[in-house]
Amino acid sequence: MIRLQVLNLLEKALNQKGKIVNTDNVDFWCPVCKRESHKKKLTVCLNDESEKFGWWRCWICKDENGMSGRNLIKFLKKVNANKKFLYDLSQIIHVPYTNLEDIFNKQKKHENAIELPEEFMSLNKKSKAYNYVTGRGISDTEIMRYNIGYCEKGKYANRIIIPSYDVNGILNYFVARSYKENWFPKYKNPPIPNNDYVIFFDIFINWEMPVILVEGVFDAIAAKRNAIPLLGQSITNALQQKLIQRDVSSIVIALDTDAIKTSLKYTEKFISEGVNVKFMNLRQKDPSKMGFKEFVSLYYKSSDVDFQSLIKLKMEL
């Protein structure tokens, strides 16, 4: 029973079916070296009656760990599996994991703490907020799609509110941007860290298609298709985890030109992990100023980056 429970959990965590080799072992594609040949080369021992229970090894990158159920938890942690999978595994194999329940509870606390401001209203076509949003090239259809609203009063007064929802349609964050000139700070977001748990616009992302990484929320709306705003220049822990879990094969880097060093750093990182990367040189214009048509045109003109072209890009800095 434990064997089947662990197998089912690993298949969900790694987002792939395991190949049962014998009564002890199951093979997967390795999420560490990300080498998908016609054979699955990551072997995991799931026989809880064997002294090898919990042992795992990739026969390509030689990544492995010793024997014990605790090492399965180490394995899921190594591949950045969702904290819930670690928690569930610790319950199945009866191995306590230090602070795991606290981490899981913090994630739930974060989710429960997020709610739209009490003063949140749908955009009124006669309001300055509506004029600001449409002036940024956002259509009425997009206003409805992203549930864009605003606040006239309260903590987020005179700000556009752009919510983000997770894959289950649950609010996980929002951005509040001033629509009045000389109203500072320009952005005033919830006082809750977003690094560990948030994938902005998660509900709209198709992980089977190329994922576009942009800096700001207006950039993502301008790009229209499969774009994730980083709300800065760093990829969150949650996003890194999801990219591995869903085995994303193609990523488009479209950060602003002032972040070109960061863009190249992530480009090199993803290439080394076997991911196809398209690097977009935005030429001093971010996607929101560029507009959809120009952005798409540049997208199709951009080529996939290999190590040779990466070196060339670095030399041009």
pLDDT score of 194 = 65
Q: Class of 2-112 per CATH?
A: alpha beta
pLDDT score of 281 = 83
pLDDT score of 35 = 59
pLDDT score of 111 = 58
pLDDT score of 168 = 81
| 3-state SS record for the chain | CHHHHHHHHHHHHHCCCCEECCCCEEEECCCCCCCCCCCCCEEEECCCCCCCCCCEEECCCCCEECCCHHHHHHHHHHCCCCHHHHHHHHHHCCCCCCCHHHHHHHHHHHHHHCCCCCCCEECCCCCHHHHHHHHCCCCHHHHHHCCCEEECCCCCCCEEEEEEECCCCCEEEEEEEECCCCCCCCECCCCCCCCCCCCCCHHHCCCCCCEEEECCHHHHHHHCCCEEECCCCCCCHHHHHHHHHCCCCEEEECCCHHHHHHHHHHHHHHHHCCCEEEECCCCCCCHHHHCHHHHHHHHHHCCECCHHHHHHHHHCC
pLDDT score of 222 = 95
pLDDT score of 63 = 59
Domain residue ranges of the chain, discontinuous segments joined by +: 2-112, 115-192, 198-317
CATH topology for 198-317? Dna Topoisomerase Vi A Subunit; Chain: A, domain 2 (3.40.1360)
Average pLDDT per consecutive 10 residues, the chain (317 residues; last block may be shorter): 84 87 87 68 85 81 56 77 79 65 55 84 92 95 96 96 90 94 87 76 93 95 94 83 82 84 86 87 84 91 86 76
Task: Give this prediction's pTM.
Answer: 0.67
pLDDT score of 202 = 93
pLDDT score of 121 = 95
pLDDT score of 286 = 85
pLDDT score of 107 = 57
pLDDT score of 217 = 96
pLDDT score of 67 = 46
Q: Decide yes or no: CATH 3.90.980.10 for domain 115-192.
A: yes
**198-317 shares the fold of 2-112:** no
